[in-house]
Structure 1
């Protein structure tokens, strides 16, 4: 089956499940991207200036383009939408294509979380009915569990925020764990110098600015560190628990049991219900279904459910990636969080 015909058939399946087709802007405001993803993300995008000097970029992700549309239209109600097109994004691997053809479908304003999560996965599975394959894999994770676990641990608040913020940057996240575990980045000489600076600043003009911040702000940061210090023993235990959590991988029907045993062993007041995950069967539509606690680190905006489906046929390779992103629309400029969940289908010729 040709990829074009397959794409058209998949679009028909999505439409028949109550999703409305929309067109997305190819070009979006670069600042919207950089304000939420950071200046370092600039290396992954194709940006340029228009005739008025405004910096624009080719959409690096169709989900972001869809959320920008929702934001610009000042939507306040729930909508089920789908779209198709190309995203333009550089990768870390120079051999990766910078143009990705995708089909996406979303529920924006998703106020019935568990029900909508299940609908997105069900729509993904129905899309597979248009391609012949012998087997595949469905991996399910949940970023929310990591966030709640982190909140329960005895760790300085600033470190919790740091670990949560950089969870999707695996290498840097592991570097942070090493620092937390060993205090290897703390130089006693620098600590003594900082104490002297603190004493000098507290007796000086606190409205004066240093490197864009007032002395008052710097002192507040010092004060927070003093009241909530990082201790080696506690840091080591936190890292041990997090590393153990991130190794949990099992068939989906064992996920709640494995997680609850982990929580009990580490004396963490958490419990996952048997129906927490949208799928509880180990096999569905020729797919092996597994839980992976560390999955979901490939995109920084996921906040809850994450999943991926990978299959191969004789002529096509199809993968579906999706999840929940309840803070993305607010990060792009909306005044409050708008819960959302969706998925993107990538179809490649083999």
Structure 2
């Protein structure tokens, strides 16, 4: 979609979406198009820079055209008098990012729910509203893929790994290629021949990160190391600390096997809960609270009229969004597995990273308007909360 004009057909789709959101109780939000670039770079890393349309204001602050609407809606909520209180917002507007051969300006719609402490019920509502939105376009034959990064985080915590491995695995969970590379690297390192530095490296891996970083930085300074390739001594030390401890063969073999067994679990949600409880009992893993949260969410979904047996839950499912902290999902048209119609999840850690003094629960989704308008059958008047 290029230019500023919206076709009559697209306008009809937009009206149907907004009506669906309003009916569910989500008020319209319209954040500014021009946004500070720092939150996007901080949350997604410098890799996103090549996709942003950047400029600088007179004070030197780096700004960008909004590449999505979740962060702008969250920032406006935090700046309002309602910050910290339960509130739900819907949106439909243009976003801007380079996509290599596809239009860089396109429509994004969605909803965001902030401040609700009843997380399982809020997750279920978000999925129900997403299904209502697709049903409003005649898309009733859909595939629903779900996962939960909180389960993976609970597993990693229960395994009591060295801090450097915990950080790396949790960071890479949503990046399938990186996680597969990590596990392959772990497999090789676990069986590798011990080397003369292994004791030192293992000690660094198991130590307090700040203390270890200070030690390596001091040693490099004593050795006369200065800036290399534009990186400071501190940055070089941080990279050395991570890379050296990652290759020190410090991960117990049983932990690696448990991670792989965990990531192989999939099926309908009830089957997954049973498999997870069996694994937790057998391996004596303290992940009961995360499993209980999953089971509660399933119950609320069923109460919403969602056929939970039609859901596909996978412990390895991730969406490539660093700030997700729990429930994640995608809704696809049957037979069109590569392009989601709707995608979203829980991101409880985002608000503090955006400046909130206290954690604020948050969950939401975005609608791929381009895909819906291309695949959908057109807006329909009847809407149902039950979609299978």
TM-score bucket of the superposed structures, by smaller chain = 0.7 to 0.9
Give per-residue Cα distances to partners, 1:42-95, cap 9 Å, x unaligned. Answer: 12222122344321111111111111212333623221111101222234xx34
Provide the rounded CA distance (Å) in 2 between the counterparts of 1:332 and 1:161.
20
Provide the rounded CA distance (Å) in 2 between the counterparts of 1:233 and 1:245.
20
Aligned to 2:95: 87
Q: Which protein has the bigger strand share? A: 1
Provide the rounded CA distance (Å) in 2 between the counterparts of 1:105 and 1:180.
39
Aligned to 1:135: 141
Aligned to 1:237: 254
The SS at the match of 2:310 is strand
Provide the rounded CA distance (Å) in 2 between the counterparts of 1:105 and 1:302.
15
Determine if the alignment matches structure 1 residue 262 to structure 2 residue 269.
no
Aligned to 1:42: 49
Provide the rounded CA distance (Å) in 2 between the counterparts of 1:165 and 1:186.
27
The SS at the match of 1:68 is helix
Q: Which ranges of structure 1 fall in alignment gaps of 5 or more residues?
A: none
Whether the aligned pair in 1 keeps the contact of 2:326 and 2:346 (CA below 8 Å) is yes
Aligned to 2:70: 63
Aligned to 2:18: 11
User: What count of residue pairs does the alignment treat as equivalent?
Assistant: 337
Whether the aligned pair in 2 keeps the contact of 1:135 and 1:286 (CA below 8 Å) is no
The SS at the match of 1:2 is helix
Q: Which protein has the bigger helix share? A: 2
How far the C-alpha of 1:112 sits from its partner, in A, is 1.9
Corresponding residue to 1:29 among 28, 31, 36: 36
Corresponding residue to 2:173 among 149, 161, 167: 167
Which shifted more, 72-81 or 296-305?
Answer: 72-81
Whether the aligned pair in 2 keeps the contact of 1:249 and 1:290 (CA below 8 Å) is yes
Distance 1:132 1:108, change over 3 A: same
**Alignment RMSD, CA only?**
4.0
- Within a 5 Å distance, the mapping from 1:209-248 to structure 2 comes to 212=232, 232=249, 234-248=251-265
Provide the rounded CA distance (Å) in 2 between the counterparts of 1:21 and 1:140.
27
Determine if the alignment matches structure 1 residue 275 to structure 2 residue 283.
no
Provide the rounded CA distance (Å) in 1 between the counterparts of 2:334 and 2:266.
23
Whether the aligned pair in 1 keeps the contact of 2:330 and 2:342 (CA below 8 Å) is yes
How far the C-alpha of 1:335 sits from its partner, in A, is 2.4
